[in-house]
Amino acid sequence: MTWKAMSAGRTWDVVDFWADVTWPQRPAQVQQLGVQVGWTPDDDELMQNEVDGLSEPGVPIASMPTGETASFNFWTTDVVRESTPESDAFLDDQYALLVREGNARWGAATLSDDDRPTAQWDHDGGSRVVASRGAHAVTVDFVTPQYASVLRELGE
């Protein structure tokens, strides 16, 4: 079986785009900005990343109580339904490439391996990015500067 993945370069180009946005933005504004990276607006607080051809194109947007965007996450690999040595190697490789590219662009990540490996970067502009190697996919969470500030105040 073969699976698809966004290249690490494409993933980080998307991350860099969002890091350069002037925040705060409301979800409807984020949906419109998403068009610039090839994502299409969908239902309330959702975008679709169909341009990268992954099995899970949904990009859900989370809001803060103020109505400002808090974060959104997207898949960088297909969802692997069955864990095999081949699928594990695929996900491990994609995660490693993503972390390497992130380190090159944003500096050394804070790594965690509690349940599943994660790598976290805090950008000079205030945003936060977390790459996760889940059981079935590699995902990226983009946290806006406003919500990242809240998380930092909470010690997270």
Tens digit of pLDDT per residue, the chain (156 long)? 799 999 999 999 999 999 999 999 999 999 999 999 999 999 889 999 999 999 999 999 999 999 999 999 999 999 999 999 999 999 999 999 999 999 999 999 999 987 789 999 999 999 999 999 999 999 999 999 999 999 999 999
- The two structure tokens encoding residue 82: 């069955």
Alpha-helical runs (H) found in the chain: 8-19, 27-34, 85-106, 145-153
In a domain, 120, yes or no: yes
* Domain that includes residue 110, residue range: 8-153
SS3 state of residue 121: strand
Is residue 115 a part of any domain in this protein? yes
Q: What is the C-alpha separation between 101 and 136, in angstroms, rounded?
A: 21
Q: Is residue 35 part of a domain?
A: yes
Number of independent structural domains in the chain: 1
